[in-house]
Structure 1
Amino acid sequence: MKYKNYIFDLYGTLIDIHTDEDQPELWKFMAEYLEKNFGTKYDYKVLKKEYGKLCKQETEALAERNGSKHPEIKIQWVWQKLIDAPCSDEQMKDLCTAFREKSRDKLVRYEGVKETLASIKQAGGKVYLLSNAQRLFTEKELEDTELTQYFDDIFISSDMEIKKPDGAFLQQLIDKHSLVKSESVMIGNEIFADVGVAAAVGLDAIYLNTYSRSKREINHNLKRCGADINKVKFVDDGDIRKIE
C-alpha cells in the first residue's frame, strides 16, 4: 500500500448519483409539503424561483463573511427563510430528506468500493471523506449505501462553510488528524475540485474518470487548477480497485 491516508470524494467517486432540481414535479411536491407541514403557501413556480434566489444570496453573503472564493452554505438557511415559520431540527431534516429523495432518480455504490475501502482498512490505512455536499442530504445517503462505517472521519463542506478546491477545507482535515502529506492522497472524479484541492495543499491525487471526461477537458482543468501532472495518477476507466 503506497499511502497511509486515503481521502475520498463521495459523489461520482464512491457513489453514482443523479438528481434533477429543475423538474416541475419536485417543486409541486415541495409546495404541497410546505403547506401541509408548516402552513406556508407557495405557487410551485414561485417557490422554485425563490429557492434559487435565496441560494444565490446566501452564497454571496457567506463569501463576504468568510472570504472564500468557494463558499458552501447550509441549505437549511434557505429553507428556513422560505418556511418563515417555526421549524425544529427534526422537521428540517425530514424536509431536506424529502426534497433530496424526490429530486433523485439514481443512487448506487460503484462496483468495488466496499472491497477497496475494506482492503485499505485491513492493511492499516486510514480512510477519510472530503465531500462538497450538504450534511442533511449526505448522512442518509452514506447510510443507504452502507459506507459510513468505513470512514475514520467525515468532512462535509456545508459544515465548514467552504468547499473544494479551497485548500483550507482539506487543510482542516490534515491538521485535525496530523496527517503527513507525503503519506496521504486525495481521490476523486473531478479535476478542478479534487485534484485542485490536493494541488492547493501539496498532496498527491488520484483521478477516477468515472464520467468519461475527454482528454481535452481533463487537460483544460489541470491547467485551470495549476496541478502538477507528476503528482496525479489517472485511472481512465474510473475503476476504484486500481488506486493501490
Structure 2
Amino acid sequence: MRVQAVLFDVNHTLVDIHTDEHRDRVYRVIGHVLAYSGIHLRCGQLRDIYFATLHRQRDQNPEEHPEFDAVALWRTIVERHATAYTRSLPADRIEQLPRFLTELHRGLSRRRLHRYPHVRQVLDELRNHYRLGVVTDGQSAYARPELDELGLLGHFDPIVVSGELGFRKPDSRMFDIALRTLEIAPEQAVYVGNDAFRDVHGARQAGLHTVLYAADGRPDAAGCACSCTPDHVVTDHRQLPRLLASGS
C-alpha cells in the first residue's frame, strides 16, 4: 500500500532539547512562588518531595511502560502541604496552581529548545504529499506549547502525547490511537524517531514502517533486537522526502 501518513517523535527527532530537573534554581524559584500561596518548602526539601512524588506515581501505575502526570504531581504536592492560608485562597486560584507550577517547572528546567536544521522546510514539503502526525512521550502541559513555540504545531494532526494516556512508548497503543484517528492501516504509515527501542520497536509492534533518525550520524543503537532494527536510517531530515517517495 502507498504511504499516506508520516508520524514523528518530537524530542531529539524534530527538536533539540535539553532539560535539567535537578537544578537548585528550579526549586528555589518554585519555593518562592509557593510561599505566596501559603506553602513553605525549602529548595532541597521541595526537590526531594517532587522526585519522591514522581516515583510514587509511576510505581502505582499498573502499566508496563507507565507515564506520570505532571499536573497531578503538583496537585498532590499542593494538597499535601496546604496550610490554613492556602485553604483561604479563592478556589479558582488553587485549581489553576498545579498547571501553572507544571509550566513553571518546565520553563525553569529547560536549557535548550530549538528545531533541528531543515526540519521546518522538510515538514512543509512532506505535508504536500502526506498527512503528518505526532506520537510522542511527554506532558500535555508543555508538549503542544513547545511545538507551537517552534512554529511546528500546525503541521500535525493527530498529536498523541503519553502524558494524556498514562502509558508511554514503546506501548503500541499510542501508535494505534494515531492510526485510528487517521483511519488508515498500519502499513500505510511511517514512523520517524530517534530511539531504537521506544520508537522503532514500538512502531514496528504496531505494524508501521520505521525510520531511525541518528542526529550524530552514528546509527549503531539500531541493533538492540530484530524488532528494534528500522527499515531505514537517516542522518539528515532532508533525506526523508526522497526516501518516502521511493517507496522502498
TM-score of the aligned structures, taking structure 2 as reference length: 0.86
Query: CA, structure 1 residues 16+228, in 2 after alignment: closer, same or farther (shift >3 Å)?
Result: closer
- Other structure's SS at 2:132 match: strand
What is the number of residues matched between the two proteins?
A: 229
In the other structure, the counterpart of 1:73 is 68
Q: Using a 3 Å threshold, how does the CA distance of structure 1 residues 90 and 81 change in structure 2: closer, same or farther?
A: closer
Mapped partners of 1:157, 1:69: distance in 2: 13
Amino acid at match of 2:173: A
User: Which runs of 5 or more residues in structure 2 are unaligned?
Assistant: 83-90, 242-248
Mapped to 2, the partners of 1:228 and 1:138 lie a distance apart of: 25
SS in 1 for 2:227: coil
Find runs of 4+ consecutive structure 1 residues off by over 6 angstroms: none
CA-atom RMSD, angstroms?
1.8
In the TM superposition, what whole-angstrom CA distance separates every residue of 1:167-189 from its partner, at most 9, and x where no partner exists? 11111211232222222111011
Letter in 1 for 2:12: G
Structure 1 distance, partners of 2:60, 2:143, is 24
TM-superposition CA deviations, 1:98-137 (whole Å, max 9, x none): 11111111000111111111111112x1000011000112
The unaligned stretches of length 5 or more in structure 1 are none
How high is the sequence identity, in percent, across the aligned residues?
A: 23
Which protein shows a greater Rg? 2
User: Which of 214, 234, 240 is matched with 1:243 structurally?
Assistant: 240
SS in 1 for 2:174: helix
In the alignment, which residue of structure 1 is the partner of 2:11?
A: 11
With normalisation by structure 1, the TM-score equals 0.87
Q: Which residue of 1 aligns with 2:222?
A: 218
Deviation digits for residues 12-67 of structure 1 (CA, Å, limit 9, x no counterpart):
0111100001111111111112112x21111111111111111111112122xxxx
Alpha-carbon offset, residue 92 of structure 1: 3.0
SS of the counterpart of 1:62? coil
Q: 1:60 to 1:98 in 2, by over 3 A?
A: same
| 2:40 aligned with 1:41 | yes
Contact 2:7 2:189 in 1 (8 A): yes
